[in-house]
Structure 1
């Protein structure tokens, strides 16, 4: 729900839309295999890789070792304005393991939280590349399909989030639409999401220098005048959080947006959760078992036991059971120790008992929790489904939260709220302070593995 503002943590950071590609460090993507299925027990392996988001990369003046961005401020000499900064600066290749704590082995990807290399790095965000490609992201249309993966969250405590989600991004990272972008998907450019993050450094081919204000809580982040909601013309955009979780709580959440041609936002159009002013539904329609009244379903020793690895299956059901139909429901189930576990049923007054996200659930949930129904106002499930056909990029990340301390996932949020929907997990309202989390849980990590995509019913078995 709030994945963007807390993701900036390495000392040399930049998101790029009009930036050069550096050559000081070779860019070598960690390999990662996944499977494309056509029917049960009929899957073929895809040889892909992952690429680090440009947010985390060292950004320097072209042909030199001079930083364009240090800590949470711009280099005023090289970045006098947005256009000159984009022309003057390059982002460089990454030492995935040594600097960022990112490793892969076969079909498994490990993302470590704190890595102490030459500089201290916090968290990471990576994208799945197309098989055999170094320059294009893999894109997915999930209508009438299911997405399955294994995950180990046993080492993710309160205040952390090991997330897997889809974002509507250009497959080439924006190179075709912004010709001054010479880095592209090879260097992890082009990120956008429904939170309309204003901490993105380069937007629409220019640096986000105007109005840049360093963060008061994050020594490596800040915000500019412009936010980035969306990056795909002629279609509603979406952010689909398939998986946001630690060992205590989990939620899956679709977020529709209404824009069809603009790529940036300013002022009220960037919006805030539960606001009707912005172009995106930042709150989304979330399914969190604990928040929905079932407190013993997910967690250490619970029905889905987070002390060990398990499989997560998400199904995208359409009105006519075809890839051309309207998205009508998003279903969730789990597999652990050879047993299929159906998602928990809701147990909230005013919400008809269900274990899936559909339009009726979203409408009733918003009323029961006293939340604005921005999900419906921004297009609802139909809007989410219509955007799928443009193709979605797979994002995997680990992060802590400088904006809301992850309380929206695993604690009470807002902290003063009472009544239905306030409590989302057992974590204390004081548990998510990023400085505390980074100091107390530096060895935290998440492991994603065994990704499979195919028609409903084809990617898992008991």
Structure 2
């Protein structure tokens, strides 16, 4: 999941405020077994703390402005935790709507007649535990239904797992915690304002952790991508360990190993219309299965269900990985050689531990995140277009989707897709073969 750049001054905090009550919209999920079926769980959604108002405790002065902490309020990592309060939010105001077991997220909202970027990120919250819902997925499968019909080229309706702290780094002065969406991290090592519950005053630290991208998609293209890290849980990186100058120096595999059917040559498998195997003008079910041998993750499989039919993942037609329709270490190694420039091409996925290390994170437990965003830096071409843009038609791995290389610009998307949205529903997980029919 590439980082979402937000031009907001209302960002992460650590004390609960008293101006706006925080009420989590309900989003039931289910835990399933083959024999017993699916049992509903009391889960809800919580908006990431980066989207909330952060102000001085007992007052109304912003704790941050232009991405910097207000030193008149706090001047130390610990002081900002106790001096700043984070408020509850109106979820509808951030383009989020829940109904029964579904949640719809809009890329834009309209306020006072003007279209504004919302681009929300939410997490699944376990109301019984008072923490993020804990997903442990080895030898398990994870399923959800999705409607991508309103997410066109350049938009990413994402659903993924992050090895965040289940309590949102609560403690040591942080009394807001997961209830207010704190503690985010991912494999891009974003410069979070609070890491391990302490303020990142000079923005020199990044919040790194293993990330399993289950679903990065729009109506034109999709990919699933594991990103292992060689550190356990949330790691506060600094300097080259964040990979800011050279992505390969990071403690995490920032690029990941991707399975994109279009990139693998199956260009009519996924897309808009009945001439595609999976028709994105209609809702469908996505099933991801995690298989182990001797306790270690060895294979990730993908299935779709649409129109009463179970559809295996697209089969690669690229010579060298032809016939592949699941992810293994062997697939990742060969794919990176083919698409990355030969046998000597860097393979950060293997360097950071590959499937084994990704599986260890999945076994420890991960937090479910959902988001909708556009890409101000790369225009989402890495997902749905051609990279590099001037690649010849026969360049292996360059074409990731059918979207034009002139598209994906944020201003274009706001004009052409003001109602861009994604709907996720029927979230369920459990024994392999238990979550779908």
Q: Same fold (TM over 0.5)?
A: yes
Identify which of 217, 221, 229 aligns with 1:249: 221
Query: Does the CA contact (< 8 Å) of 2:316 and 2:322 recur in 1?
Result: yes
1:226 and 2:220 aligned: no
Describe the SS at the equivalent of 2:332.
helix
RMSD (Å) for aligned C-alpha atoms: 2.0
Query: Does the CA contact (< 8 Å) of 2:151 and 2:157 recur in 1?
Result: yes
In structure 1, the partner of 2:409 is 433
In structure 1, the partner of 2:128 is 132
In structure 1, the partner of 2:315 is 345
1:454 and 2:430 aligned: yes
1:109 and 2:100 aligned: no
Query: Does the CA contact (< 8 Å) of 1:79 and 1:209 recur in 2?
Result: no
Query: Does the CA contact (< 8 Å) of 2:261 and 2:267 recur in 1?
Result: yes
In structure 2, the partner of 1:235 is none
* Distance (whole Å) between structure 2 residues aligned to residue 439 and residue 62 of structure 1: 39
In structure 2, the partner of 1:264 is 236
1:435 offset after TM fit, Å?
A: 2.8
TM-score (norm. length: structure 1)? 0.88
Q: How many residue pairs align between the two structures?
A: 427
TM-score (norm. length: structure 2)? 0.93
1:249 offset after TM fit, Å?
A: 0.5
Describe the SS at the equivalent of 1:446.
strand
1:295 and 2:267 aligned: yes
1:389 offset after TM fit, Å?
A: 2.1
* Distance (whole Å) between structure 2 residues aligned to residue 45 and residue 261 of structure 1: 28
Describe the SS at the equivalent of 2:174.
coil
* Distance (whole Å) between structure 1 residues aligned to residue 226 and residue 381 of structure 2: 19
In structure 2, the partner of 1:218 is none
In structure 1, the partner of 2:248 is 276
Q: Pairwise mapping of residues 58-457 of structure 1 onto structure 2 (< 5 A)?
A: 58-70=53-65, 72-80=67-75, 82-97=77-92, 99-117=93-111, 120-133=116-129, 135-176=130-171, 179-198=172-191, 200-210=192-202, 224-230=203-209, 238-260=210-232, 263-271=235-243, 275-301=247-273, 302-320=276-294, 325-370=295-340, 372-418=346-392, 419-457=395-433
* Distance (whole Å) between structure 1 residues aligned to residue 287 and residue 363 of structure 2: 20
Structure 1's unaligned 5+ residue stretches are 211-223, 231-237
1:340 offset after TM fit, Å?
A: 0.9
Deviations 1:178-210 (A, max 9, x none): x12111000000110001012x22223333331
* Distance (whole Å) between structure 2 residues aligned to residue 40 and residue 413 of structure 1: 46
* Distance (whole Å) between structure 2 residues aligned to residue 35 and residue 260 of structure 1: 28
* Distance (whole Å) between structure 1 residues aligned to residue 149 and residue 234 of structure 2: 40
Q: 1:272 to 1:362 in 2, by over 3 A?
A: farther
Moved over 3 A (4+): 70-77, 79-87, 117-121, 272-275
Query: Does the CA contact (< 8 Å) of 2:338 and 2:396 recur in 1?
Result: yes
Query: Does the CA contact (< 8 Å) of 2:183 and 2:196 recur in 1?
Result: no
